[in-house]
Amino acid sequence: MEDPSLAALLSDLKDTEPQVRDRATQQLWQRWYRQKGTYGLNGLQRAEVLMTAGEMAEAEQLLSDLINQLPDFAEAWNRRAVLHYLQGRYSESLEDCDRVIDLNPIHFGALHGKGLSLAALGQYREAITAFRAALEIQPYALINQRLILECTARLS
């Protein structure tokens, strides 16, 4: 049975009013970060602090430990995908993005990240597909529209 509050948030992502879309986006991120309660949230927050401080190895270890303890915690996989992307480890980022999407098919952030990783690997057609999938969920995300145009130009 589908969660009616989730369905409402997904509908709000398509609203013509920016405030409605922004609120829905924030609520989805909160839901994803809080999926595993205080323990999971605290782990993600510690990893973010480490990443911000440039302590990437420590952040990666923390996220990997969190993933080992909570393998269905999509946001832990997503944060590690971001870390890998920031380090230029695009294939590893792509693998983590795919895991997030397996766990949470509506994760527009992971779809966007998948597109970024594919584009960085020169796989522009596949990147366009990922950005389009993100746009199906979040149609007003101008960044994905722009990235589709950039990838299309690279194919010419």
Report the pLDDT value the prediction gives residue 2, as an integer from 0 to 100.
66
Q: What is the mean pLDDT of residues 8-24?
A: 97
Q: Tell me the pLDDT band of 103, cut-offs 50, 70 and 90.
A: very high
pLDDT at 5 over 80: yes
Which bin fits 104, alpha (ψ -120 to 50), beta or left (φ > 0)? Answer: beta
53 contacts: CB under 8 Å, gap ≥ 6: none
pLDDT at 1 over 70: no
- The domain of 146 spans 4-155
Task: Give 2 or 84, the one with higher predicted confidence.
Answer: 84
Report the pLDDT value the prediction gives residue 3, as an integer from 0 to 100.
82
Q: How many domains does the chain have?
A: 1
Instruction: Give tens-digit pLDDT for 113-145.
Output: 999 999 999 999 999 999 999 999 999 999 999
Report the pLDDT value the prediction gives residue 153, as an integer from 0 to 100.
97
Report the pLDDT value the prediction gives residue 4, as an integer from 0 to 100.
85
Q: What is the mean pLDDT of residues 98-107?
A: 98
One-letter amino acid of 40: G
Nearest alpha carbon to residue 96 among 112, 80, 73? 80
Structure tokens at 102: 């397996």
CATH code, domain with 147: 1.25.40.10
The CA–CA distances, whole Å, from 77 to 30, 134, 141 equal 15, 17, 22
Start-to-end CA distance of the chain, whole Å, equals 45
